[in-house]
Structure 1
C-alpha cells in the first residue's frame, strides 16, 4: 500500500511523532510485513507511507480496526490532502550481499 499525504504547514513534527507512535501499533498486526515513512525532498509537508501486507483482505481488516480509526481521527485534524494506492508486487529483488575480505 502506498499513501501520499500532505500535512498542513506547521504540523510536520506533530505528524512524524504521531506516525511513529502508530507505527508501533501497526507492527503488532501479524499480516504487516514492514512500513516506511518518506518525506519529499524540498517539500516539508509532503510524505509517502509504504506498508507491506500479506494481502488486501488483511490490509482492509487493519484499515477498519479500532486502532487505525483512532489514528485517522487524529491525523485528519492535521492533514491537508492525499491519496492511497494499493499495489501488486510484480517482481522483487533482495539486496546484494557483500563478502568481507
Structure 2
C-alpha cells in the first residue's frame, strides 16, 4: 500500500505540569507496543510551544487495521502506561492524500541529534 493512502491519527495530549520529562521517557519506552504492530507505519512525538502540550502522529496501513488495534488489549495497556501523565487530550483522524519526500528523509533521529 502506498504512503499516499495511509490512515493518519493525530493525538493532542495535555500533560500534567512537571511531568513532561517523565511522559517523554515513558512514551519512548512503551512506543514499540504501537510501532511493532504490523499495520503501523511509524509514529512521532512532538512537543508544542504551548505549555504541556504534545502531539502524537501515527500512520497506519488502513483505517480498519488501526481500528482493530485501537480496540486491542495491546492498545489498552499502552494507554494505561501513559494515562497517569495526561490531564486531557483529543484525537483527529485523516487519510493522507499526498506525500512529498524531503531530502532529509533518510536521516535517522540519532544522526539528526548528533548533528545538532
TM-score by length of 2: 0.75
Is residue 28 from structure 1 mapped to residue 36 from structure 2 by the alignment?
yes
Aligned equivalent of 2:113: none
Of Structure 1 and Structure 2, the greater helix share is in 2
Distance 1:40 1:76 in 2: 19
Q: What is the deviation of 1:40?
A: 0.6
Aligned equivalent of 2:45: 37
Is residue 56 from structure 1 mapped to residue 66 from structure 2 by the alignment?
no
RMSD: 1.5
Q: What is the deviation of 1:42?
A: 5.3
Contact 2:14 2:54 in 1 (8 A): yes
Q: Which whole-Å deviations, capped at 9, do the CAs of 1:17-47 have from their partners, x for residues lacking one?
A: 121122122121111001100001252x100
The answer for unaligned runs of 5 or more in structure 2 is: 1-8, 105-116
Number of equivalences: 96
CA gap of 1:85–1:22, structure 2 versus 1, over 3 A, is same
2:74 is matched with which residue: 33, 43, 67?
67
- 1:71 aligns to what SS in structure 2? helix
